[in-house]
Structure 1
Amino acid sequence: MVAEWKGADEAYALALQKSQFISRDAFMGVLTESEKFWVGLQPFLLMRGYKLRPRYQPDWTPSWLKPKEIGRDLYSFEDALSLPRPGLIDAIRQYDGAKVVIKCIDTSTEELPIYQYLASPELMANPRNRTAPLLDVVLLPNDDSQVLIVMPQLLQFNQVPFRRIGEIFEAFEQLLQGLEFMHDLNVSHRDACYFNLMMDASKVVPRGFHFAQRWTNDGVSLKFRWRARWSVRPVPYHFIDFGISRRYPAGLKDVKDTTRLGQDRSAPEYVRPEPYDPFKADVYQLGNVFLKVIEPYDPDGLEPFLALGKAMTSPDPNGRPSPAAALQILDGMDKRLFKCRIWRPWLTWGEKFEISFCGVNSLV
């Protein structure tokens, strides 16, 4: 934060001409409490080999408040970008320059032991395991109530459009494999929902993307260069966030649960008072994701995915296929169709031509 100065009011008025939604606190570089938490940890994280963005350095001065920059659009500066979620921050791993995400979690939950279990070297050697890699666990100094976990910086799995039937098949297959793998270990994710499904975008977005502005390469430029998944396949997909996951005793059958949490609480069994099967609720949640993914596309060629999504979201939990059965349904698809293009209905003929033959890749 910068102290008030004589011309602050005039400078803020200029900023409002560029964007009327900028608060005075944002203009003056006032950090939120969750951001201050990370600033306080910056020296410790740097010692551990993780470098935070300039905004989170203890001696940070907002770039737009430097005398030569007064009057420019606030959001033409990378350090104006705040954190999209508290408890999460992006960083650079110093020894190799890799982009990572650091998450602060409570040690009172089962998130860390479940994540460590699923991401153990033995289990990660299984190709069906779609758990996001766990790169590091960092104990906080003088605080046993929280711990930091370090993961690769992954992109939300549906951030860029699907262009071919085979791309959707690959994503759905991997996610079902991951769910099946967890269920085989008697682990229920309990939040197998849209924002917990990610992809390794290192080949899809080779220039990288900004953690706080995922639709940009650098957080500032409106140009976003990416490649169609089909051209760089296979693209790895992953599950994240085991904050409400449960690991049940090995061999325990007929598991029942009563917790009703997570992003998607629309499963019919969630509104009933009696305990429910959490594994079948996982299937319902993932099926809803599948339906949401294919909804904005022309349906031609996507009918098998639509049928699968409807089966997975059956009002009767016993009528839903297991992940293994859902994979069998997918495997029965005509693979000759995988190269076929899929389109969002609002695209014009010219836009389709540019995408198909001119290498244009927009986010529409």
Structure 2
Amino acid sequence: MLLNIMMFAKDLYTEPYHPVERHMKRDFRGFASHYTRTQRPPMYYFIDFGLSRQYDASEKTPLEYPIFGGDKTVPEFQGNTDVLLNPFPTHIYRLGGVVREFIDKNTGFESLKPLVDAMIQNDPSARPTMDMVVKHFDLVRQQLSTWKLRSRVPARDESLFETLYLGATHWRRRIGFIVKRTPAIPRLQA
């Protein structure tokens, strides 16, 4: 679920920010200076493996009783839960649900909708494998222009003021990235 994905961005802010109002300095004496995720790419982590199981790599279709997590919408868990199931399609469903939640709150991700729809199908056997998801995602990403990759991600419920203000600051930053030839997709350092 979304709460199990964390971002580590130690270099994103140049000074401490307020824990509730991240755009403000800790003492509320102005805005907190920060870099963008393009300028200082953060690391993302999956956390909370308390219900996880580990399988031998040779075991392609392990069978387990359903393991209930934060996402209560998993179709195969709605009926008889005394049946052994392959947990991997459930993971695909749950990851698709996280991406769907992000898409539902923001605009500009229409190109991912077919992939997400495939991931959240009711029939677990019809869902793609993780290798197929990665390949499909890479194909979608490769088809996106630099212009699209640099575009702002507006929330569906943002106000006109937010749209104008955030749009103006985005364009100022975007032009700077173009002039400096900063890649649209940041290069991660190991």
Q: What TM-score comes out, normalization by structure 2 length?
A: 0.72
User: For the Cα contact (< 8 Å) 2:4–2:46, is it kept in 1?
Assistant: yes
Once the two structures are TM-superposed, the CA of residue 305 in structure 1 deviates from its matched residue by 1.6
Once the two structures are TM-superposed, the CA of residue 266 in structure 1 deviates from its matched residue by 1.0
Please state if 1:199 is matched with 2:7. yes
Q: What TM-score comes out, normalization by structure 1 length?
A: 0.40
Which whole-Å CA distance do the structure 2 matches of 1:344 and 1:209 have between them?
A: 23
Instruction: Please give the per-residue CA displacement for 1:225-252, whole angstroms capped at 9, x wherever unaligned.
Output: 443222323x321111111110123422
Runs of 4+ in 1 over 4 A off after TM superposition: 217-220, 222-225
- Structure showing greater radius of gyration is 1
Aligned residues: percent identity? Answer: 23
Please state if 1:279 is matched with 2:85. no
Alignment of 1:1-364 (within 5 A): 193-208=1-16, 213=19, 215-216=21-22, 221=28, 223-233=31-41, 235-273=42-80, 274-298=83-107, 300=108, 302-333=109-140, 334-336=143-145, 337-345=148-156, 346-348=158-160, 349-357=163-171
CA gap of 1:224–1:218, structure 2 versus 1, over 3 A, is: closer
Q: CA RMSD in A?
A: 2.6
User: Relative contact order (C-alpha < 8 Å, sep 6+): which is higher?
Assistant: 2
Kindly indicate which of the two structures has a greater share of residues assigned to strand. Answer: 1
Letter in 2 for 1:258: Y
Instruction: Please give the per-residue CA displacement for 1:81-134, whole angstroms capped at 9, x wherever unaligned.
Output: xxxxxxxxxxxxxxxxxxxxxxxxxxxxxxxxxxxxxxxxxxxxxxxxxxxxxx
- Report the 3-state secondary structure (helix = DSSP H, G, I; strand = E; otherwise coil) of the residue aligned with 2:39: helix
CA gap of 1:206–1:242, structure 2 versus 1, over 3 A, is: farther
Instruction: Please give the per-residue CA displacement for 1:29-51, whole angstroms capped at 9, x wherever unaligned.
Output: xxxxxxxxxxxxxxxxxxxxxxx
Which whole-Å CA distance do the structure 2 matches of 1:244 and 1:335 have between them?
A: 36
Which whole-Å CA distance do the structure 2 matches of 1:341 and 1:218 have between them?
A: 24
User: For the Cα contact (< 8 Å) 2:51–2:67, is it kept in 1?
Assistant: no
Once the two structures are TM-superposed, the CA of residue 209 in structure 1 deviates from its matched residue by 5.5
Paired residues, number: 162
CA gap of 1:258–1:289, structure 2 versus 1, over 3 A, is: same
Which whole-Å CA distance do the structure 1 matches of 2:48 and 2:76 have between them?
A: 23
Structure 1 residue runs of 5 or longer lacking an equivalent are 1-192, 360-364
User: For the Cα contact (< 8 Å) 2:12–2:40, is it kept in 1?
Assistant: yes
Which whole-Å CA distance do the structure 2 matches of 1:310 and 1:226 have between them?
A: 35
